Amino acid sequence: MPKRSFAVYDVFSNRKLAGNPLAVVFDADGLDDAAMQAIAGEFNLSETSFIRPANNAAHRAEVRIFTPKHELPFAGHPTVGSAIAIMERAGEAAPAIFVLEEKVGPVRCAVRRDGEAMFAEFDLPRLPEPVPFSGDPAAVAAALRLSPQDIGFENHLVTAYSGGVPYILVPVSGLDAAARADLDTQAWVELTGPAEALSPGAFVYCRETAARENAFHARMFAGHHEDPATGSAVASFAGAITRFDRPAEGVSRHPVEQGVEMGRPSLINLELDVKNGALAGARIGGHAVKVSEGSLLV
């Protein structure tokens, strides 16, 4: 009977039972797409990553990422968690830099130790690009069970961006409005398109934060669930920050807190590289800690 090792990590947190859980299946070569999809459904976490031999000998591994329903071309917490899991399973000392192969393309990762936890960051494989979206702000508010007055702050407006996965980015007035947000799934699908993989998630954000040192507070709703930490959404959010806040030339940091309302506090580190007023590069990083491990008998 085949036996494949797996581990579950809490990602974008430096402590267990916080952040976003991720199942990592090692030695996944030999599993076809249907098998990986079925295993992801068995774990029933927001994402499961499968580690396979790299196609390019210069790269560290191929990573396939599945939700319980479909495959994703790219996702943030599986990239961070997989990079750290690969290092820990190999027993290698950090720091290290290597490339993971994802459906979106090669993803350059750097892993280091930060106190008791491991920290990984990756270069965005694609810089965020605007996505056409003509939804009326009042309709967006209604789909989030908010009032129109809750939408927007300063010069921030509702936008849509994709850094590999599209999101509708919804600025709200503050923590109170963010706490009251609650997605009406039917109304959201009617506003944005078909359900599941084709319907962009709602990334709700505000400038007011629970922790003073952070730059933004966020929640992310997709379908019938809320996500405690969404790196791919923050990749898209980099486009809105660049557009509305016009960061200064050079490197700037924009830590994003998420998952607070769920009791799964997460911290996503976002760095932007701005040259000549345009976004030239960006990185997303966070911690991950292992909470369980075992074997799959498939």
> Which residues does the annotation mark as catalytic?
47
**CA quadruple 31, 32, 33, 35: dihedral sign:** negative
Question: b/e map of 210-227 (b: 16 or more CB within 10 Å)?
Answer: eeeebbbbbbbbbbeebb
**What number of CA atoms fall less than 13 Å from residue 141's CA on the CB side?**
14
At 212 the three-state DSSP class reads coil
CB atoms within 10 A of CB 287: 26
User: Residues in the chain, how many?
Assistant: 298
Closest CA to 153 of 210, 205, 219: 205
Whole-angstrom Cα distance, residue 108 to residue 285? 12
From residue 289, alpha-carbon distances to 55, 98, 101, 203 in Å are 28, 20, 22, 25
What's the start-to-end Cα distance of the chain, in Å?
Answer: 7
Q: Cα dihedral angle (128, 250, 247, 144), rounded to 10 degrees? A: 40
Determine the distance from the C-alpha atom of residue 212 to the mean position of all C-alpha atoms in its chain, rounded to a whole number.
22
Whole-angstrom Cα distance, residue 180 to residue 128? 28
Axis-axis angle for helices 76-90, 231-245 (nearest 10)? 130
